[in-house]
Amino acid sequence: MQRLILRNKRPITLISAILVSGAYTSHYLLHQEPAAQVMMLIASVIGVLPIALQAYQALRVKVVSIDVLVTIAVVGALIIGNYEESAVVTFLFLFGDYLELRTLNKTRSAIRELTEMAPESALKMMEDGSYQEVDIDEVDVGDSLRVLTGAKIPVDGQVVSGEGHVNEASITGEAVPVGKQAGDQVFAGTILDNGTLHITADRVGEDTTFGRIIQLVEEAQDAKSEAERFIDRFAKWYTPAVLVLAFIVWLVSRNIELAITILVLGCPGALVIGVPVSNVAGIGNGARQGVLLKGSEVIHDFSRVDTMVFDKTGTLTIGHPEVAQIKMYGEDQEETQSLLYSVESQSDHPLARAIVKHLAGAAAHDVEQTDVVKGGGILAQVKGRRVAVGNMALMRQEGVTMDEQARQDAAAMERAGHSIVLTGVDGQLRALVGIRDQLRPGVGEDLGRLRRMGVKNLVLLSGDNQGTVDLVASELGLTQAHGHMLPEDKAAYIKDLQQQGHIVAFVGDGVNDSPSLALAQIGIAMGSGTDVAIETSEVVLMNSDFGRLPHALGLARATARNMRQNIVIAVGVVLVLLFSLFFSSWMNMSIGMLVHEASILVVILNGMRLLRYRLRPR
């Protein structure tokens, strides 16, 4: 019976509305007072049933909820024969509950859209070479898949063959199609606008970028902010306090109707719903714009950030360094190139890949032995020669000599902002390679927007040489820049900033950034970074779009501001109603409940404004 009543709250609300309307018609138009009283009584009894059941369920878990206040008030009104007010109060409460639920569902629409966009099937290559449509759960890593025009890409993977344009709005928030061809990465949940692609699955199911988005957003909804925890504590004590106040008023005045009215006017409905609706709407907006905010606690802290610390490679820069300059020493330069090419071919370091790409076509030799020196470079035996490729520290360790000209060349490369890779062969310096990573397009303008938004300190911490770091800082107008920073140095620097009272956000993308991401009040990971960086961060910029960072900060501040507005509205309404009850003659139970439901709608609609939040374009 309880489940039947609670499942049919909407029909009960409709019946209550019909009975109340019929009662007013009988009273004012037909002048049938007995019929009006009967309809009001029936509306009161029917309407209070779901409210009383919800109150009973709350009391079973030792929670004195708003439903308890309304139930006591309605029963009291029935006892004293005030059927009109009891009927109107129950109808308004049920109708407000219906509007609240419907409006909250709209705020969650952005997140629901995400889950509905999840791919359900895929065209998988079978053993006989044919393609068959299978359920998405039957796709494994390494499977070959075909994606046709208009279809959703089912997995994260790499294009093996074919060309086409993909709408990646579900991942990046950008609706402009991106051209894809062999070797490019594609993401689950994105849509192939035209063409045909053959891809190999790298990540499937919940491990895909799209799957992680849904998981992180769902987790974010469950996380409670400081404001929500305050409201939980407040509601726990506030509702019993209203009951005590009503009882004291009755003891003093012996006016049962006044005491019952206090119960109705004291309902903190808007306070309970105001902060969660702002939280859900803010997270939903971020999810649609390529920004993952992991919970309302993150929003609260992020909105107060005054210092942002950045890694360089892959964050402020594209992360694909290229050789900008080479200086050769000694007579046999062709041999030096082949030795350097052979050794660097053994490494997957970004600088090594840049050198291999630049020296493509050089003769390759068998590398007999390699020894990777952490933080230094690589040592190898090639054709009986001892080859050292790395930084200055490695050269000193190996006793590689540098004449004055080589030192001047190295200093000039540093001033030009190049990362320097030195090559020593049998103790002699044979090559200096200057490598430069390109800045992300528009990053300077994005940093300028952060400054205008009130972020006072923009700090660059990098493991690169100080010359390169200073040049980047100068180009971008950063507050401070520090080079030669190991992961533990970055973490120590952030801890020092926090001890000075700064609210710090760290932006990075690599495994070496994880300690700093975890230590900062707000860790911000680039979406194409490592899984460790994404998991330890509080904010994720999907598809590594740095331009989303100002939107993320602006959204966090707008959401925090919206939460405060809703708290003020909710508390203000209750105070005004109680003040009006004691110091005016027009306030009664029905008017109080109407104002209450109106305030609930106001805070919900105020929260929904966040769904339309946009930072002004550059």
Tell me the CA end-to-end span of the chain in Å, nearest whole number.
59
The one-letter amino acid code at 496 reads D
The DSSP code for 306 is -
Helices (H), 377-521: 392-398, 404-415, 443-452, 466-476, 487-499, 514-519
- Cα 59 versus chain centre, distance: 36
311 is catalytic: yes
**Alpha-carbon span 201 to 216, nearest angstrom:** 22
Give strand pairing partners of 203. Answer: 156
Closest CA to 150 of 177, 110, 113, 183: 177
Query: How many helices (H) does the chain have, and how many strands (E)?
Result: 23, 20
The one-letter amino acid code at 193 reads D
Angle 333-335-336 from CA coordinates, rounded to 5°: 65
CA gyration radius for the chain? 33
Residue 425, helix vs strand vs coil: strand
Helices (H), 61-167: 66-79, 83-107, 109-116
- Any idea which residue has 């499977």 for tokens? 143
Dihedral sign, CA of 606, 610, 615, 616? Answer: negative
User: Could you tell me if residue 256 is left (phi over 0), alpha (psi between -120 and 50 degrees) or otherwise beta?
Assistant: alpha
**Alpha-carbon span 61 to 59, nearest angstrom:** 5
Residue 8 has phi, psi (to 5 degrees) of -110, 35
Closest CA to 282 of 189, 227, 214, 217: 217
Residue 520 has phi, psi (to 5 degrees) of -65, 155
- Report residue 120 as tokens: 């359900």
**The one catalytic residue among 311, 409, 437, 513:** 311
The one-letter amino acid code at 18 reads I
**Alpha-carbon span 611 to 618, nearest angstrom:** 20
**Alpha-carbon span 178 to 168, nearest angstrom:** 7
**Alpha-carbon span 477 to 96, nearest angstrom:** 52
The DSSP code for 160 is E
Q: Where are the beta strands (DSSP E) in 257-296?
A: 291-293
**Alpha-carbon span 242 to 543, nearest angstrom:** 51
Enzyme catalytic residues: 311
